[in-house]
């Protein structure tokens, strides 16, 4: 106990020296109060519990993760929703991908494959959106049901995440890319592949409330970020064949309000892009 409390005091002292009011505010009430309790009653369980609570408050109050972000990107939205749900503060560095801002030498040095999203968590750099989501839960909320600890449940979440990002999102982007970037209509093969992926999502969902049962997981956040593009952003007539996905999307939004808080901006950008393309403007330029 003395080691724990002494460590906490050192953290508080360092914070106070730097005038870090957030750290000192969260840390001191627990440390000061419970040092007195410990002196009166060594081994007090309340003391132990409150030190843990103080540690948790301290951890949450100091976590700021730098995110290299492309507004409107579903993978970036995924990371932002996960962080919002976990209470992790993000410092956004927004890139205009069409202007190739992600190819600047400083970012390429940080991430040699120059993809977004990329995070920098106090010197630890990570890219690939689903890997980032897993990392954030493991580090900042290891008990969260978003990414269960049970080996088989976690493996199921992984499988669904990899399907959603590797199959569904890939088919979706392959379908819309000709429209959005070349002004061309997608081929029938691209439409068939996209419909097949959407049908697989319906099969995987089955009659469950969410992909893994009654609890929202990372897999649901990923699927919602992908579906949101066509349900609330772009237009796809083929979606009418899959009403289960629309119903699921509405359930998800009610269960995780953080999604709409984050995704609203991204979905508006997509709607604006579609509107510009429909009127013959450059879909990636400012509206005229």
| Same domain as 37, residue 99 | no
| Same domain as 211, residue 188 | yes
Which of 22, 39, 62 is at the close of a domain?
62
Q: Is residue 51, in this structure, part of any structural domain at all?
A: yes
Number of domains composing the chain: 3
Q: Is residue 288, in this structure, part of any structural domain at all?
A: no
| Same domain as 259, residue 171 | yes
| Same domain as 209, residue 273 | yes
> Tell me, what's the pLDDT at 161?
98
Can you give the residue range of the structural domain that contains 226?
151-278
Count CA atoms within 13 Å of residue 182 on its CB side. 10
Please give the C-alpha separations between residue 68 and each of 92, 100, 161, in angstroms, as whole numbers. Answer: 6, 13, 21
> Tell me, what's the pLDDT at 191?
97
How much is the pTM? Answer: 0.78
Q: Is residue 284, in this structure, part of any structural domain at all?
A: no
| Same domain as 169, residue 130 | no
Which of 78, 112, 140 is at the close of a domain?
140
> Tell me, what's the pLDDT at 193?
98
| Same domain as 83, residue 21 | no
| Same domain as 119, residue 209 | no
Cα four-point dihedral sign 9, 13, 15, 19: positive
Looking at the annotation, which residues are catalytic?
73
| Same domain as 161, residue 100 | no
Q: Taking the chain (288 residues) in consecutive chunks of 10 residues, what is each chunk's mean pLDDT?
A: 56 48 43 51 52 51 84 96 97 92 95 97 97 98 97 98 97 92 90 98 98 98 97 90 98 98 92 75 55
| Same domain as 251, residue 272 | yes
> Tell me, what's the pLDDT at 56?
53
CA–CA separation, 33 and 250 (whole Å): 46
> Tell me, what's the pLDDT at 199?
98
> Tell me, what's the pLDDT at 234?
86
Q: Is residue 283, in this structure, part of any structural domain at all?
A: no
Q: Is residue 287, in this structure, part of any structural domain at all?
A: no
Q: Is residue 68, in this structure, part of any structural domain at all?
A: yes
Q: What is the DSSP string of 95-142?
A: --GGGTGGGSHHHHHH-TT--SSEEEETTEEEESHHHHHHHHHHHH-T
| Same domain as 131, residue 189 | no
Q: Is residue 146, in this structure, part of any structural domain at all?
A: no
Q: What is the DSSP string of the chain?
A: -HHHHHHHHHHHHHHHHTT-HHHHHHHHHHHHHHHHHHHHSTT-HHHHHHHHHHHHHHHHHH-EEEEEE-TT-HHHHHHHHHHHHHT-EEEEEE--GGGTGGGSHHHHHH-TT--SSEEEETTEEEESHHHHHHHHHHHH-TT-TTS-SSHHHHHHHHHHHHHIIIIIHHHHHHHHHIIIII--PPPHHHHHHHHHHHHHHHHHHTT-SBTTBSS--HHHHHHHHHHHIIIIIS--GGGGG-HHHHHHHHHHHHH-HHHHHHHHHHHHHHHHHHHHHHTTS-TTS---
> Tell me, what's the pLDDT at 275?
76
Q: Is residue 220, in this structure, part of any structural domain at all?
A: yes
Nearest to 125 by CA among 142, 105, 109, 144: 109
CATH value at residue 120 = 3.40.30.10
Nearest to 117 by CA among 222, 213, 260: 222
Residues present in the chain in total: 288
Which of 106, 140, 174 is at the close of a domain?
140
| Same domain as 230, residue 162 | yes
| Same domain as 109, residue 124 | yes
């Amino acid at each position: 106990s003395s080691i724990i409390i002494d460590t906490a005091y050192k953290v508080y002292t360092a914070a106070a020296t730097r005038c870090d009011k957030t750290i000192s505010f969260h840390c001191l009430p627990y440390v000061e109060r419970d040092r007195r309790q410990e002196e009166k009653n060594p081994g007090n369980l309340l003391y132990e519990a409150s030190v843990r609570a103080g540690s948790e408050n301290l951890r949450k109050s100091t976590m700021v993760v730098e995110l290299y972000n492309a507004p409107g990107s579903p993978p970036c939205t995924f990371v932002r929703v996960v962080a919002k749900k976990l209470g992790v503060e993000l410092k956004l560095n927004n890139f205009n991908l069409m202007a190739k801002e992600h190819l600047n030498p400083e970012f390429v040095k940080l991430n040699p494959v120059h993809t977004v999203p990329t995070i920098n968590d106090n010197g630890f750099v990570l890219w690939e959106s689903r890997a980032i989501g897993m990392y954030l839960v493991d580090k900042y909320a290891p008990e969260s049901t978003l990414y269960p600890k049970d080996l088989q449940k976690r493996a199921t979440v992984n499988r669904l995440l990899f399907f959603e990002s590797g199959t569904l999102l890939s088919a979706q982007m392959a379908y819309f890319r000709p429209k959005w970037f070349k002004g061309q209509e997608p081929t029938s093969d691209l439409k068939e592949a996209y419909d097949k992926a959407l049908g697989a999502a319906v099969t995987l969902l089955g009659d469950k409330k969410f992909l893994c049962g009654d609890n929202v997981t990372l897999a649901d956040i990923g699927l919602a970020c992908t579906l949101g593009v066509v349900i609330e952003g772009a237009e796809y007539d083929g979606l009418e064949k899959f009403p289960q996905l629309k119903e699921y999307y509405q359930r998800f939004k009610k269960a995780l309000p953080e999604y709409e808080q984050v995704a609203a901006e991204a979905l508006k950008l997509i709607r604006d892009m579609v509107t510009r393309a429909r009127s013959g403007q450059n879909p990636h330029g400012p509206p005229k």
